């Protein structure tokens, strides 16, 4: 039989329950073994008065500190010796460097890549300092190519560089769209200018006067009258009575009336200043469902809605709906429909001490709270 049933929550006395005869009324204190779990391994004291002992090896850099208020074991790491590490050194090239140590020379290193480097590179080349490539180098000696960053401000300047060769100092090959190196003449010339010139446009050949642009009576049309002669009216694209115009932002000072059967609002957020929204304003009686549906695209479970089911007089949630649905069935259990009711909540302060026992609010799942803190559920 459906009725209001009291809900026992934390802090309730056990006397509120209808207990079976012989239920537990008291507990006698018993000895208990001390236990703990360390990384999934259960550790137990050897007797009821025993204690757990944790050992730590400070030589390995691991310390354990126990506290009795509250009972905790704190693990911390101090200085870990290299001997306790599986890998206590870093190898660069063929040079092994112990952790914490410093290496002033490196052997066995064949290449270095870096976005920025300051210092000297020594290799097996006949040159004292040798690097195959260098990007953003402050100084480059005997470089075969230098990349030049073009300026678009017109202030420059460009600097001409030379490279030493068997035939003397020669202009260096420059990688630039504004400078070109001529290998035949060994010269570098400017090939582009970033200054823009403005040339005046021509004036019209005749004089146009007494020109008037007006709007005829037909919606979306304009008409140009030149020297008193009116041209044919021109319809502005998509602004006629049969057009489909698209605007970015529209402000309407007066009323907006939409006569179509479907109104689509494609917006990220909809702001409504009215306090109330009337849904199903064209309903003829109280058998019409209503609500809000959230479109979930191609999701297999379909759309989800919060709606009012007129057949059960209840609000609830339902999924498995299509975009064109015009009814909800919150009590259904088949057909791919998953319905759930929203609970009616009453308080003694606002409803009185008499809980509803009939009518549309005396339904399964309704909740009633008294001024003394008791909770009742209708089921």
Structural domain count of the chain: 3
Integer angstrom CA distances of residue 301 from 87, 297, 320, 336? 53, 10, 5, 8
- Predicted pLDDT of residue 197: 40
Does the pLDDT of residue 214 top 50, yes or no?
Answer: yes
Residues 322, 352: one domain?
no
- DSSP string across 297-344: TT-TT-EEEEEEETTTTEEEEEEEE-TT-----TT--STT-EEEEPPP
Containing domain of residue 313, as a range? 290-328
Residue 60 lies in a domain: no
Residue 169 lies in a domain: yes
Rounded mean pLDDT, 103-123: 71
- Predicted pLDDT of residue 221: 86
Residue 77 lies in a domain: no
Rg, C-alpha atoms of the chain = 44
User: Which element (helix H / strand E) includes 91?
Assistant: strand 89-92
Residue 27 lies in a domain: no
Residues 157, 186: one domain?
yes
Distance between CA atoms of residues 308 and 54, nearest Å: 63
Last residue of a domain, one of 190, 225, 252: 190
Residue 183 lies in a domain: yes
Q: The tokens of 168 are what?
A: 């003397």
Q: The tokens of 165 are what?
A: 């060769």
What is the share, in percent, of the chain residues with pLDDT greater than 90? Answer: 1
Last residue of a domain, one of 133, 163, 190: 190
The residue ranking higher by pLDDT, 302 or 160, is 302
Total-model pTM: 0.39
Residues 322, 356: one domain?
no
Residue 153 lies in a domain: yes
Predicted confidence band at 364 (pLDDT cuts at 50, 70, 90)?
confident
**Averaged pLDDT of the chain:** 74
Does the pLDDT of residue 275 top 90, yes or no?
Answer: yes
Last residue of a domain, one of 133, 157, 190: 190
Distance between CA atoms of residues 336 and 248, nearest Å: 41
Q: Are 192 and 204 in contact (CB under 8 A)?
A: no
Location of structure tokens 């890998």: 87
Location of structure tokens 């990349």: 147
Residue 342 lies in a domain: no
Distance between CA atoms of residues 179 and 188, nearest Å: 6
- Predicted pLDDT of residue 161: 66
What are the tens digits of pLDDT across the range 128-185? 456 666 666 666 666 666 666 665 555 555 566 666 665 666 666 666 666 777 767 7
Residue 80 lies in a domain: no
- DSSP string across 155-192: -------EEEETTEEEEPEEE-SSEEEETTTTEEEE--
Predicted confidence band at 127 (pLDDT cuts at 50, 70, 90)?
very low
Does the pLDDT of residue 229 top 90, yes or no?
Answer: no
């Amino acid at each position: 039989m459906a009725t209001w049933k009291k809900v026992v929550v934390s802090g309730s006395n056990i006397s509120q329950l209808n207990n079976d005869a012989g239920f537990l009324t008291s507990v006698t204190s018993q000895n208990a073994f001390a236990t703990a779990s360390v990384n999934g391994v259960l550790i137990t004291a050897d007797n009821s008065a025993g204690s757990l002992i944790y050992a730590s090896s400070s030589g390995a850099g691991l310390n354990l500190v126990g506290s009795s208020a509250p009972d905790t074991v704190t693990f911390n790491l101090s200085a870990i010796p290299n001997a306790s590490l599986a890998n206590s050194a870093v190898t660069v090239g063929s040079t092994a460097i112990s952790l914490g140590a410093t290496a002033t020379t490196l052997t066995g290193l064949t290449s270095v890549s870096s976005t920025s480097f300051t210092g000297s590179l020594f290799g097996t080349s006949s040159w004292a300092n040798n690097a195959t490539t260098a990007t953003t180098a402050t100084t480059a000696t005997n470089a075969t190519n230098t990349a030049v960053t073009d300026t678009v401000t017109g202030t420059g300047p460009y600097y001409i560089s030379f490279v030493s060769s068997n035939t003397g100092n020669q202009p260096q090959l420059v990688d630039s769209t504004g400078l070109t190196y001529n290998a035949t003449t060994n010269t570098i010339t400017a090939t582009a200018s970033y200054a823009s010139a403005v040339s005046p446009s021509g004036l019209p050949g005749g004089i146009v006067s007494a020109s008037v642009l007006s709007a005829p009576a037909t919606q979306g049309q304009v008409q140009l009258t030149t020297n008193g002669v009116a041209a044919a009216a021109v319809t502005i694209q998509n602004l006629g009575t049969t057009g489909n115009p698209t605007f970015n932002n529209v402000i309407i000072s007066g009323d907006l009336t939409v006569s179509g059967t479907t109104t689509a609002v494609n917006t990220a957020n909809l702001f409504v200043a009215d306090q109330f929204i009337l849904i199903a304003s064209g309903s003829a009686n109280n058998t019409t469902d209503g609500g809000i549906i959230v479109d979930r695209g191609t999701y297999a479970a379909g759309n989800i809605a919060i709606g009012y089911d007129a057949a059960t007089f209840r609000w609830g949630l339902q999924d498995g709906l299509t975009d064109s649905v015009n009814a909800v069935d919150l009590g259904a259990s088949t057909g791919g429909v998953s319905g759930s009711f929203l609970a009616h909540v009453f308080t003694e302060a606002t409803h009185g001490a008499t809980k509803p026992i009939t009518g549309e609010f005396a339904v399964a799942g309704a909740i009633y709270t008294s001024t003394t803190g008791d909770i009742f559920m209708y089921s």
